[in-house]
Structure 1
Amino acid sequence: MDDLADFEFFEIILEDGSRKLRLPDKFASLLDGREPRELKLREAGGGRLLCDVEVVFDGEGHMYLGRGWDQFAREYDVQRGHFLVFSYDGDAVLAVKVFDGTMCRRHYKHDDDDDYDSVTIKEEDPASESSCESGSNNSIDSGGNNSIYTGSKNSTDSGSKNSSSPEMDVDDAPTSQFTVMMRQCHLGAKQNQYLNVPAEFQVAHGYAERSKVVLRMRGKSWTVNLKHNHRSVGHPRTSLRYGWHQFFVDNHLDVGDTCFFRALRGGDAGRGEEHVLKVEVRKRDGTFVH
């Protein structure tokens, strides 16, 4: 199954305590004639730790993770509204990244890869959110509409420009990535668009000292100004403002699309270095923007 190596897809958890998880029909069709009886799941940051999960098919050809899935979900505290990204290695192993209601990826500590009891969750900052309005519920619509949680003058040129500098490696630190599903407030009237940046991410990358960031996607760059709204309690809320409109227009973003933001290495705020976020976009139908 080497031709399926690095095949990726995502699932949004719609039900609590489900003993089965349906996988995309496209993934099932690509396995046609060589369907495995079971798959091994591992948390993407968990090294060798594997969980055997039964693969079942219904009478209509839909593919599910069966027995063993509920154990994996319990051990990694997978809950309704969580967003899971699966990567298939071509050899019956699925690596899983878990994003929770803060829109940030969960990271787990594995003291002993041979024992599931050793898995503990590193809790995210509860203030690490990217909702459209302060205090709004970051929840998934129970109807399955993918409406989850899960931001001077205009920016330089206020539009896209070809990036001439080579792309640096992305930073894999827990606080160097976050995910946002597009809602109407992110894509509304031009003067009112914004995207809130999770608090933990802001602190880790010195956003209080920054006035702008650069979004990089498909070999192009967009400079976006940051707006800081001070609050009586906690850190200021920082959002992407001027320049964000041009980014989503140029990349044809729509409600229900999901943006994955990852910081590139470098960009020290204290040294006045430019902070660059690599962005990947997954459309509502599961395809990536290339």
Structure 2
Amino acid sequence: MEKPLWERDSFFKVMIGDFQTRLRIPPCFHEHLSGEILVKSVLRSRGGRRWAVMLRREGKNLFFGEGWECFVSDLSIQLGEFLLFVYDGDLGFDVKIYGITGCEKVDPIASMKVEQEEEMEIREKVPAKTSTALIRAPGRRREILNGRVILGGLKVFSNESALNSARSFKSSRPFFIATYRRSRQEYMTIPASFMRECDLGSMEAIILQDQKGRSWPVRIAHWIGRVAMAKGWAKFRDVNHLKEGDVCVFEFLEADTAIHVHIFRAKQNTAGVLRRAGNKKREQEVLKAERSFRTNAIFASIFLKSRKYNLNIPTRVLKEYDAAKLSKTTLRDPSGRSWSVDIKHRVDGRAVLSHGWFNFCRANHLQVGDICIFELNDGIQAMDVHIRRLGLHAITAG
């Protein structure tokens, strides 16, 4: 009989160092694993999702190796977070994640209610003779249109024209409609009816194609009968510049085992990335901030919640300073402190400040709407960061 959770052996780890690529199991815990064939383990999240992770020995040390990166990526585990591993006695661990706030984090995908998304629309085949009608159901709306059923919550969409354009989409292939929200930054739920019709239940990955013909492999996450596009979705989102309110039609291409995504833009997002922080006035302040420097070797960016972990480096800067192979930079803040920050190059040719950028933001107490002005000293290998607080004067590095 399996022991209750509180009676099982466990250990905890704080996420520091190179935790994103591997994690060392405390040596004192090895005794609980003695006699086992240390090849593969299973990690389980609180939401019931599972990851196969290889155990690797290096001398007297034992690490979570291959598969660990997927676990970290899928659950968005960040520097400084606290993980509790509870052993099941058979090379499996139930993992609880505590954020830097001290509170337990919830698996964002597993916390969703299947087919009860407020803004998800599912299209299923119905008899062709069915006439157009509106059927009310508890907490849901069912609209029969052009021989297909549209299911959705009663919430009104912020961009009616984008939604109407998506609704007018016609295809002989299965498809569903979803509105992009901030809550869908890391994943996109696949309706159960769509999953069954396209036989996605046994698939581990699928290809997403955009309207320009570009393709991205996306991992399909399965848990307790639910399915979502997980790892790889964020890359598709970034390259296609999805903004809140944009409406996506996901059309299944059986011959290619792929999903073609048709994007209908929300009007309020056509002004560009900068206006997400507030309004046109703030955008003008960014341009004014750039012009206030005598040198042209600068670029500026408004701090947003979505830029807490990654910040785009302008393409013009990458080209001008031949930074295609640069992997690190040093940022100097207004207090004279230095921060080593990784530069991550994406498949679409863009580059972002990644590992280390969050630490810089936290130490400098960046808030939404603050403007960061990056002054290049030696290309982008070293940059002074001047901070202009929302409503205040600039804080200059140096």
Same fold (TM over 0.5): no
TM-score if structure 1 supplies the norm length? Answer: 0.36
- Which of 1 and 2 has higher RCO (CA within 8 Å, sep 6+)? 1
Larger Rg: 2
Q: Which has the higher strand share?
A: 2
Give the alignment's TM-score, normalised by structure 2. Answer: 0.27
